[in-house]
């Protein structure tokens, strides 16, 4: 572009920037955009898959908890039944005492039969006034004779509670003197409304729970614990369970006469299925990556298509919009009802430039002409090349033909003052032009071009042919 032209200044730069905005994106820019879209798709898909998988995991955990709740309640019911059945013998003895007015002649025979019914039973004893007087089996438990259950240290709470409430009470599990653990049941006996004493039974723990088969919980994949709250300290005491304590367990209560036991279970591997989660997130990552690749490929193809479309609307020599782009621009303006003036331009004597100095010189000449005229156009104007030395310029907002001709002639005069320098050559050329107006002169793009072309050749006939000068 020729330097020194006063008109090629700030306006030139603005127009050139507008022209560059119309140019297609480079391959690197298109590739970067595709990569950004692919990464965005990867992240979005992975987040969606992750949220969905977390939801599925929550649903699975909820179902697992419901299953565990059913199991723990079932086992808690079994424990309650087994314990209740184990001390049911005291009610039989209590009934005999009331029938015999506190005297059972053949106590040992009755007790022996009751013990056979419940093999975990350690002893059955009678305690008139709270003091043990008779016990079965005798030899193993004869040291208990004479013990006052209402006053004996660490054992009197449940005995007094049974006397005061008139209901059976459960004590323990506690450590036996002879070794092991046991659970004791105290049942008060009242004759004619007067406290007679206690009927007591003691059974081994946890042997009494053998019919429940709590160890089967481990085979089902659960850690479990049977516990109670200590009446003195308020702390939870583990009665029986697996080596590993349950974490965030599902619990069920075992209701006994004066105490509540709690059965807790947790899946041995925890509530979270880490294998499933790892596999699921791996699948999610694979799907996300695959989708990202597809989206990236589609984005790249769309970008290439758009770039090709843009390239197809540009003149390869000057970078100006071509006939196709010009037609689309005019159709858009007509659809919006926007008036404009169209100038059809032809460089006089251009053929001689090609013939004399070669086509390379002619191409550079056309490029300089395009740059100069593009730089002088108003911001709302547009310059396009039809081919050869033919150019079309449109300017919006002009409805008077004389005004349009004056404007375009001023523009051509302004760029014609400075010679075109190509290496050591200095060329000057004149331009013929014809003008047509929308909508006053024509209602279609083809008709506008025909009228402007005819107007241009009308002006050519009125003046002698001119050739591009070179020196």
445-462 and 323-335 are packed helices; what angle lies between their axes, rounded to 10 degrees? 120
Residue 430 has pLDDT above 60, yes or no: yes
Of 113-127, 153-167, 197-211, 452-466, give the lowest mean pLDDT range: 452-466
Looking at residue 23, what is its pLDDT?
A: 46
Residue 429: name the closest of 347, 356, 370 by CA: 347
CB 144 within 8 A of CB 135: yes
Q: Report the 10 Å Cβ neighbour count for 196.
A: 20
Residue 82 has pLDDT above 60, yes or no: yes
**CATH superfamily ID and name for 10-23+314-470:** Reverse transcriptase/Diguanylate cyclase domain (3.30.70.270)
Residue 385 has pLDDT above 90, yes or no: yes
- Give the single-character DSSP code of 24: P
Please give the average per-residue pLDDT across 452-456, as a whole number: 91
Residue 343 has pLDDT above 60, yes or no: yes
Q: Is 228 helix (H, G, I), strand (E, B) or coil?
A: strand
Residue 219 has pLDDT above 90, yes or no: no
Q: Is the overall model pTM greater than 0.75, yes or no? A: no
Looking at residue 196, what is its pLDDT?
A: 92
259 or 2: which carries more pLDDT confidence? 259
**Residue labelled with tokens 């075109």:** 420
pLDDT 10s digits, 276-300: 667 777 777 777 777 777 777 777 7
Q: Is 124 helix (H, G, I), strand (E, B) or coil?
A: strand
Looking at residue 11, what is its pLDDT?
A: 41
Looking at residue 301, what is its pLDDT?
A: 76
Please give the average per-residue pLDDT across 425-429, as a whole number: 82
Mean of all residue pLDDT scores within the chain: 82
pLDDT 10s digits, 241-281: 887 878 888 999 999 888 889 999 998 888 777 776 677 77
CB 401 within 8 A of CB 435: yes
CB 183 within 8 A of CB 122: no
């Amino acid at each position: 572009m020729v330097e020194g032209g006063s008109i090629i200044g700030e306006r030139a730069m603005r127009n050139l920037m507008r022209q560059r905005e119309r140019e297609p994106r480079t391959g690197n820019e298109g590739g970067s955009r595709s990569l950004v879209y692919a990464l965005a798709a990867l992240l979005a898909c992975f987040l969606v898959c992750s949220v969905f998988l977390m939801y599925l995991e929550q649903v699975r955990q909820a179902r697992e908890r419901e299953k565990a709740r059913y199991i723990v309640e079932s086992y808690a019911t079994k424990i309650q039944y087994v314990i209740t059945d184990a001390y049911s013998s005291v009610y039989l003895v209590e009934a005999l005492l009331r029938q015999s007015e506190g005297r059972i002649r053949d106590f040992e025979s009755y007790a022996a039969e009751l013990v056979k019914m419940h093999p975990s039973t350690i002893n059955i004893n009678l305690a008139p006034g709270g003091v043990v007087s008779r016990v079965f089996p005798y030899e193993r438990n004869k040291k208990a004779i004479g013990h006052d259950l209402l006053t004996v240290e660490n054992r009197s709470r449940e005995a007094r509670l049974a006397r005061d409430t008139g209901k059976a009470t459960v004590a323990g599990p506690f450590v036996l003197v002879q070794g092991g653990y046991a659970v004791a049941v105290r049942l008060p006996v009242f004759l004619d409304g007067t406290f007679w004493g206690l009927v007591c039974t003691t059974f081994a723990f946890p042997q009494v729970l053998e019919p429940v088969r709590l160890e089967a919980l481990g085979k089902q994949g659960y850690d479990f614990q049977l516990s109670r709250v200590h009446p003195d300290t308020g702390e939870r005491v583990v009665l029986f369970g697996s080596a590993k304590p349950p974490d965030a367990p599902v619990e069920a209560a075992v209701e006994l006469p004066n105490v509540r036991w709690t059965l807790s279970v947790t899946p041995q591997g925890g509530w979270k299925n880490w294998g499933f989660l790892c596999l699921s997130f791996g699948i999610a990552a694979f799907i996300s990556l695959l989708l990202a690749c597809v989206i990236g490929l589609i984005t790249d193809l769309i970008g290439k298509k758009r770039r090709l479309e843009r390239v197809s609307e540009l003149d390869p020599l000057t970078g100006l919009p071509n006939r196709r782009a010009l037609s689309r621009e005019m159709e858009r303006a007509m659809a919006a009802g926007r008036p404009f003036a169209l100038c059809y331009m032809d460089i006089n004597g251009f053929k001689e430039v090609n013939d004399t100095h070669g086509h390379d010189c002619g191409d550079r000449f056309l490029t300089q002409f395009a740059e100069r005229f593009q730089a002088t156009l108003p911001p709302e104007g547009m310059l396009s090349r039809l081919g050869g030395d033919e150019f079309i310029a449109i300017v919006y907002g002009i409805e008077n033909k004389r005004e349009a001709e004056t404007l375009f002639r001023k523009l051509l005069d302004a760029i014609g003052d400075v010679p075109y320098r190509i290496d050591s050559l200095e060329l000057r050329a004149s331009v013929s032009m014809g003008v047509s107006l929308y909508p006053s002169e024509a209602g279609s793009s083809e008709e506008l071009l025909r009228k402007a072309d005819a107007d241009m050749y009308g002006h050519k006939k009125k003046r002698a042919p001119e050739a591009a000068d070179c020196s």
